[in-house]
Amino acid sequence: MANSDSSTGVPAQRLAFGRRLRALRTRAGMTQTAVAAAAGMDRSFYAEVEASVHSVSVDRIPALAKALGVTPSELFQDMGPDHR
Amino acid sequence: MANSDSSTGVPAQRLAFGRRLRALRTRAGMTQTAVAAAAGMDRSFYAEVEASVHSVSVDRIPALAKALGVTPSELFQDMGPDHR
C-alpha cells in the first residue's frame, strides 16, 4: 500500500473511511450495534471496520450509507484529494 | 444478498458500481488498461470489477476515483436510494 499510516501500516484511506463512519454515526446519535443491525452487518465486524481493522466491500456501501442516513456519495465526502 | 439481480444473482449495488466505473471511464475516453494502470490495479481484475464479476474494497476507492478524474464521492453519485 503506497499510502499508509507509517506507525500502523494501515492504509490511509481505510483510516479515513473508519473516521468518516464514526463521525456520521455519532452525528446520528447511533450506537455501533444500531448501525450494524440497520446495515445487516455483524456488530463486531462493523466495529472493526470503524476502527479500520478491516476494510469493507463496495457491495456493502449502499446499506451502510442508508443505515447512517446518508447517500453513498456523502459517505465518501472529504475522503480523498480534491483534484480540481 | 437481499438486493440482487434475479437473473444473475449479482448484487444490484455491484452492478451499479460497475456501470458507474464504465460510464466514467468512457466519458474520460480511457481504456481499461489505462485506468487499471493509473489506479495501480491489475488490468484483468479492473475489467472484472467493471463487469461486476468482483467487488472491490473501499481501500481502493481513492486510487480508482483519482484514475477516473473524479473524487471518491463522485464515484458513488447515483448509486443508491436518495432518501431525502
Classify residue A51 as exposed, middle or buried by CB count within 10 Å of its CB (0-12, 13-18, 19+).
Answer: middle
- pLDDT tens, per residue, chain A with 84 residues: 446 665 667 888 899 999 999 999 999 999 999 999 999 999 999 999 999 999 999 999 999 999 999 999 999 987 655 444
Residue A64 lies in a domain: yes
Residue A81 lies in a domain: no
Tell me the H-state helices in A1-83. 12-27, 32-39, 43-50, 61-67, 72-75
Nearest CA in chain B to A52: B59
Closest CA to A55 of A6, A7, A10: A10
pLDDT (tens digit, 9 = 90+) per residue, B3-36? Answer: 666 566 788 889 999 999 999 999 999 999 999 9
| Higher pLDDT pick, A12 / B49 | B49
Q: Which three cell numbers stand for residue B82?
A: 436518495
Question: What pLDDT, on a 0 to 100 scale, did the predictor assign at position B82?
Answer: 47
Domain boundaries, position B30 = 12-72
Closest-CA distance, B45 to chain A, in angstroms, reads 15
Chain A CB contacts of B39 under 8 Å are none
Give the A:B interface size as CB pairs under 8 Å.
92
Question: What pLDDT, on a 0 to 100 scale, did the predictor assign at position A5?
Answer: 60
Candidates B11, B13, B58; nearest CB to A55: B58
Which of A 16-35 lie inside 8 A of B, CB atoms? 17
With CB atoms and an 8 Å threshold, state whether B57 touches A59.
no
In angstroms and rounded to an integer, the radius of gyration of the C-alpha atoms of chain A is: 13
Per the structure, the count of domains in chain B is 1
Residue A3 lies in a domain: no
Look up the CATH number of the domain holding residue A60.
1.10.260.40
Q: Touching check for A6 and chain B: CB below 8 Å?
A: no
| Higher pLDDT pick, B78 / A3 | B78
